[in-house]
Amino acid sequence: MLRAPDPATLQRLKAIVGPAGLVPDPAEVEPYLHEWRNRWVGETPLLLCPGTPAEVGAIVRVCHDQHIGLVPQGGNTGLVGGQIPRPGHGEILVSLRRLNRIRNVDAVDGSITAEAGCTLAAVQAAASEVDRLFPLSLAAEGTCQIGGNLSTNAGGVHVLRYGNARDLVLGLEVVTPDGNLWNGLRALRKDNTGYDLKHLFLGAEGTLGIITAAVLKLYPRHRHVETIFASVPTLEAAVQLLAYARDATADAVLAFELIGRTALEFVTRHMPGCTDPLPRPSPWYILCDLSAGRGLAEEAIAGAINAGLISDAVLASGAAQSASLWRLRESISEAQKPEGTSIKHDISVPVSRIPALVERVLAAAPQVIPGIRPVPFGHVGDGNLHFNFTQPVGMDGKAFLARGEDLHLVVHDLTCAEGGSISAEHGIGLAKREEVQRYKSTVEIGLMRAIKHAIDPVGIMNPGKGVV
């Protein structure tokens, strides 16, 4: 049974971090308690910003001994509420922002050792200084932290080529729920010496421990990247185009993103400077990055047009045009806001099932909410759709949101019927904690519960979040 900290315990916790790790002004604590979309507002008796892994360990030990819940927080860009301390529970909030050193970069080994509070952009920049690439990339990269990325097993736009965050990790340093520090910072590509413990903490959303540092994989940088924005006649063509492009370019596809027509219309209507790159409207578009030699992209486009997979295309003439094409994709969530409230899904299915899934969801959603406006887009190269919906024109926003669970049920049931997942890259957090029970077998939930109990028997780590 967890309890709220008493005044003496709060003093002990404050003494661990000292003045540099405290945020005494409640107004400065506020931003840590609101998540990006303002969907969850948290509450905490104390925000701590430890400056070393040893301080993190000391905080956790006190909370363990006193049975106090704690919530790790990275850049606070998570979209399922996992980083927000629940109101009324007296949970300590631990921000990793001061653990922000790059400890080592090794271009020969192709590895970088970064503390959990380094922003993703800082890790990318440190890699780039030694002419290497850290390929994890997402729109929140200036703010999100590597500890948060690993704890959510973040995806982003390069999963197709490099895998999820989980696939980019060689070693981890973790404070376990009893306050011990596990130094698993090995830079080994091969290490078959028992259970691979790091995978327990990756994607665990802070429910099994606090990641304090990681050894990450680096790759050669791409010398030449070509960006293509193409209209495709159907989703079937989009999926075939992916296979075609990978084949025609000897697997040089770095990113393969889907944009629906409604999403493009919202972006061109609301985002300053964004225009439709093609003269004729199309139901679907693909934004694709190729790490191909010069000329290969043109050849691939010509071949795809001949095969009927592309109706029309723009090949970016340089970095500026490439950036403006990517802006169309990255502005979609922002451009939805002026159209009213939205209900969002982060789902995945095997790539070949995307056309069937989209067709079924597009048919079913208006039966739940007539007039609903579907805005599907996403990382279609890895079967991940952000299947968003904007409220019908003229409908009350709150009344629309109140129907959210009915819509989730329909979308998630259809997704699972196609062999998919109800959370492709954002995690479970608070948002999907109840719902996920419907889709996981009792065997799977039982195994997860056993792991949680073995590692965190008191249950102090991010209580009430994740699957168990």
Name the site residues for ligand FAD (rule: CB under 6 A): 36, 71-79, 82-83, 96, 116, 138-140, 144-145, 147-149, 151-152, 154-156, 205-206, 210-211, 425-426, 429, 462, 465
Residue 432 corresponds to which tokens in the numbers above?
Answer: 């999907």
CA–CA separation, 140 and 18 (whole Å): 30
Min dist. Cβ of residue 105 to ligand FAD (A): 20
Please state the three-class secondary structure of 91-104 as a single string: CEEEECCCCCCEEE
User: Smallest distance from the beta carbon of 140 to ligand FAD, in angstroms?
Assistant: 4
- CA pair distance 276, 326, nearest whole angstrom: 12
In this complex, which beta carbon is closest to ligand FAD, that of residue 176 or of residue 249?
176
**Pairing between strand 92-95 and 47-48?**
parallel
Query: What is the smallest separation between the CB atom of 371 and ligand FAD, expressed in angstroms?
Result: 27
- The minimum distance between CB 395 and ligand FAD, in angstroms, equals 25
The least CB distance from residue 210 to ligand FAD, in Å, is 4
C-alpha torsion angle, residues 449, 455, 457, 458 (rounded to 10): -120
| 226 burial via Cβ count (<10 Å: 0-12, 13-18, 19+) | buried
Q: Which is nearer to ligand FAD, 391 or 462 (CB)?
A: 462
DSSP states of 303-317? HHHHTTS-SEEEE--
CA-CA-CA-CA torsion sign (131, 136, 139, 140): negative
Distances (CA, A) of 467 to 80, 432, 462: 12, 8, 12
**CB nearer to ligand FAD: pick between 45 and 206:** 206
290 with 249: CB under 8 angstroms?
Answer: yes
Closest approach of Cβ 117 to ligand FAD, in Å? 7
Q: Where are the strands (E) in 236-348, listed by range? A: 253-260, 284-290, 312-315, 342-343, 346-348
C-alpha distances in Å from residue 251, one per residue of 161, 167, 244, 245, 323 = 9, 18, 10, 7, 22
Q: How far is the CB of 75 from ligand FAD (least distance, A)?
A: 3
Considering the complex, what minimum distance in angstroms separates the CB of residue 425 from ligand FAD? 3
Cβ nearer to ligand FAD, comparing 145 with 249: 145
Phi, psi of 140 (to 5 degrees): -90, 15
Closer Cβ to ligand FAD, 36 or 219, answer by number? 36
Shortest reach from residue 184's CB to ligand FAD, in Å? 14
Question: Using CB atoms within 10 A of its CB, is residue 24 exposed (0-12), middle (13-18) or buried (19+)?
Answer: exposed
Nearest approach, Cβ of residue 147 and ligand FAD (Å) = 3
Per the structure block, which two tokens stand in for 64? 């363990």
Closer by beta carbon to ligand FAD, 79 or else 253: 79
The CB-of-212 to ligand FAD minimum distance in angstroms stands at 7
How far apart, in whole angstroms, are the C-alpha atoms of residue 44 and residue 250? 52
Counts of helices then strands in the chain (DSSP H, E): 17, 18
- Asked whether the CA dihedral 94, 96, 99, 105 is positive or negative, the reply is positive
Please state, in angstroms and rounded to a whole number, the distance separating the CA atoms of residues 152 and 432.
14
Residues forming beta bridges with residue 384, ordered by sequence position: 348, 379
Nearer to ligand FAD, 77 or 311 (CB): 77
| Beta carbon nearer to ligand FAD, 205 or 418 | 205
**Which one, 311 or 344, has the nearer CB to ligand FAD?**
344
**Which residues, including other chains, have CB under 8 Å from residue 140's CB and lie 6 or more apart?**
36, 75, 77, 120
